[in-house]
Amino acid sequence: MSMHGGGRMGMKSMTKDRDVLERSVAPGTLRRIIEFARQYRRTLGVFFVAVVADAIVSSVAPLLLRAIVDQGIARHREGLVIGLALATAALAVADAGLSLVERRISSRIGEGIIFDLRSRVFRHIQRMPVAFFSRTQTGALISRLNNDVIGAQQAFTDIFSNVVGNVVLLAITLGVMLTLSWQITLVALLLLPAFLLPARRVGRRLGGMFQEGMELNAEMNMVMTERFNVAGASLVKLYGRPEQEANYFDSRARRVRDIGVRQAVFQRFFFIALGLVASLATAFAYGFGGVAVLHGSLQVGTLIAMTAYLTRLYGPLTQVSNLHVDYMSAIVSFERLFEVLDLEPMISEPPSPLALPPGPLTVAFSHVDFDYPGAEEVSLASLEAVATLEKTERVRVLHDVSFEVAPGTMTALVGPSGAGKSTLSSLVTRLYDVSAGAVTLNGVDVRDVLLSDLNAAIGVVTQDAHLFHDTLRSNLLYARPDAPEADVWAALEAAQIADLVRSLPLGLDTVVGERGYRLSGGEKQRVALARLMLKAPRIVVLDEATAHLDNESELLVQRALEETLKDRTSIVIAHRLSTIRRADQILVVDQGRIIERGSHDELLGLGGLYRDLYLAQFAGDDAKSSQ
């Protein structure tokens, strides 16, 4: 962080949001920032000392040059010249060393802040309910963890450095200049408005350009994210729109290019203006000071020192004048992070958790009502890219639902789409909490159980099973990281996919691709079932888990599931009614209510909705088979 040639100068203040100065600071934000920084107070203290020492050391060099000329060269004192030259070199080395120390300390503080903020925000987001993720733009969340965290860190450390370093440097420089020649100092300060006013105007213009460029870059990133994943790329190809997409991308990239050219011109104008004013000030100093030297009222060494200080004057003055922009930018970044941290998760750990009893578990719903939460309860407008969140009333989706699933039995949930079947399964795993009533496991309310204990007891496979962009081994071990190799292969055998894995060149070390797209739908589903079997939970929830399987694979997996589900509490959601004929209990759900319950034969005998669904489904199958 050397200050040679213009002090702590940079373009950081020139690249802020053009509206940043119009922002009002939320009450308590500054106090929270100070509290957050309190853990770094000792390191900040050392940083403060290093910055002040660096400013002092770099300010002494012109005085030594003055002494060399006036006391050494002018008086022909060779020893003094050599000694002062060596002292100047030593100061340069000390300045360089202090700059490295500053850099190391500021890096430790900055990277520490980045780590702390990212970890805190990431952990907080992990605690948010599924409803939060269903509404939020993924890119907006990533921006909070990247752009805003880095913005807060940079502003925090840079503001501290600029305030301390530039104020100290400015005070020393002006003090020494006034002592050496108040006349030349006054001339230099009279030229200052000619630089500061254009610089601030250019800064505002650059802020607008950078803001527009960032928005266009964000648009391009969104386009690339949507078009470069497998589903998006397939859609573009299937509809034959690659040329249209390329033109759309080019139009954005062209505007970014044009803005980049304008930014370069304005930045160059700024530095030219800085150099021009500094040159004018130097010219005035040499002209005014030169005349004073000729008249004997000023020494040559003093004039040289004054011109050296002039180069250190304009940078710090400009930085201090733009300090408010830096300050507001830091506040905005911290506010956006605090906004996420202040959004309370709807699902929280119990204050006095209860332990689940060992052995098989009974799942019981007791007069359960459920409303999906409103947008204002689970989301933020800024994370949905809208001006304000929609105002909607809660809509009840489950009404007075009661049933019990005994250990070692399978309960199937059937009914039309949107009836509430998946919602019921989400309440067992506490992806949501009931609005009224209770869901219990062996009489223990799931809201009184630690989430880790609940997750260990329950295994879920959904219709769209997710796989990470990682190896098959890693995706399977996600269920049980300490599982031995033999158990992994046993799970693969049970899911009827072991032969396929063996046929792959890399076997378990095969990377499955983003969301498992390198596998077919049925293969991906069987990997997910193998992961469930490896976990060996006491409660199993299958939400259309065999939907992507062909008839042959489905029969094989059904046999494997019969063995896997034995002695376990099982809840199965299925549209294909052939898969749940052997269920011990079938619940027919419609419009959030259980309207029928019984075995397959009993429900067919009732002649109600289940019979209609069953006949409609198999009538369609018969029609297909007759074609």
Question: What's the pLDDT band for 623 if we cut at 50, 70, 90?
Answer: very low
Asked if pLDDT for residue 236 goes beyond 80, the answer is no
Range of weakest confidence among 188-202, 345-359, 508-522:
188-202
Average confidence (pLDDT) over 157-184: 79
How far is Cα 324 from Cα 313, in angstroms, rounded to an integer? 19
User: What does the mean pLDDT of the chain come to?
Assistant: 79
Helix (H) or strand (E) holding 402: strand 396-405
Please state the pTM of the whole predicted model. Answer: 0.72
Asked if pLDDT for residue 438 goes beyond 90, the answer is yes
Third-level CATH fold of 363-384+392-626: Rossmann fold (3.40.50)
Asked if pLDDT for residue 205 goes beyond 50, the answer is yes
Asked if pLDDT for residue 121 goes beyond 90, the answer is no
Average confidence (pLDDT) over 226-242: 70
Question: What's the pLDDT band for 354 if we cut at 50, 70, 90?
Answer: very high
Q: Where are the alpha helices (DSSP H) in 313-390?
A: 314-321, 323-341, 375-378, 381-384
How far is Cα 78 from Cα 429, in angstroms, rounded to an integer? 86
Question: What's the pLDDT band for 25 if we cut at 50, 70, 90?
Answer: low
Asked if pLDDT for residue 14 goes beyond 60, the answer is no
pLDDT recorded at residue 489: 93
Average confidence (pLDDT) over 138-157: 72
Longest dimension (CA), the chain: 120
Among candidate residues 598, 578, 601, the one with its CA nearest the CA of residue 588: 598
Most confident of 192-201, 281-290, 430-439: 430-439
Asked if pLDDT for residue 299 goes beyond 80, the answer is yes
Domains 23-181+321-343 and 363-384+392-626 share a fold: no
Domain 23-181+321-343 in CATH 3.40.50.300: no
Average confidence (pLDDT) over 546-552: 70
Average confidence (pLDDT) over 211-230: 65
Nearest-10 crossing angle of helices 485-494, 521-535 = 130
Average confidence (pLDDT) over 339-351: 85
How far is Cα 615 from Cα 247, in angstroms, rounded to an integer? 51
Most confident of 175-189, 367-381, 452-466: 452-466
Range of weakest confidence among 16-20, 391-395, 533-537:
16-20
Q: Give per-residue pLDDT as tens, 55-110.
A: 888 888 888 888 888 888 888 888 888 998 899 899 889 988 988 888 888 878 87
Q: Give per-residue pLDDT as tens, 262-286.
A: 877 777 776 677 667 777 777 877 8
Asked if pLDDT for residue 520 goes beyond 70, the answer is yes
Average confidence (pLDDT) over 288-295: 82
How far is Cα 152 from Cα 466, in angstroms, rounded to an integer? 34
Asked if pLDDT for residue 626 goes beyond 50, the answer is no
Question: What's the pLDDT band for 209 if we cut at 50, 70, 90?
Answer: low
Whether 328 and 20 have beta carbons less than 8 Å apart is answered as yes
Domain regions of the chain by residue span: 23-181+321-343, 182-297, 363-384+392-626
Asked if pLDDT for residue 411 goes beyond 90, the answer is yes
Q: Give per-residue pLDDT as tens, 551-567.
A: 776 776 677 677 667 77
Question: What's the pLDDT band for 568 if we cut at 50, 70, 90?
Answer: confident
Rounded to whole angstroms, what are the CA distances from 178 to 59, 170, 174, 277?
14, 12, 6, 20
Question: What's the pLDDT band for 229 if we cut at 50, 70, 90?
Answer: low
Answer with the residue of higher pLDDT: 520 or 237: 520
As a whole-number percent, the residues of the chain with pLDDT over 70 amount to: 78
Answer with the residue of higher pLDDT: 19 or 443: 443
Whether 557 and 546 have beta carbons less than 8 Å apart is answered as yes
pLDDT recorded at residue 616: 81
Question: What's the pLDDT band for 444 if we cut at 50, 70, 90?
Answer: very high
Average confidence (pLDDT) over 495-506: 88
Residues paired with residue 461 on neighbouring β-strands, in sequence order: 542
What is the DSSP secondary-structure string of 179-214?
HH-HHHHHHHHHTHHHHHHHHHHHHHHHHHHHHHHH
Tallying the residues shown for the chain, one arrives at 627
Asked if pLDDT for residue 226 goes beyond 90, the answer is no
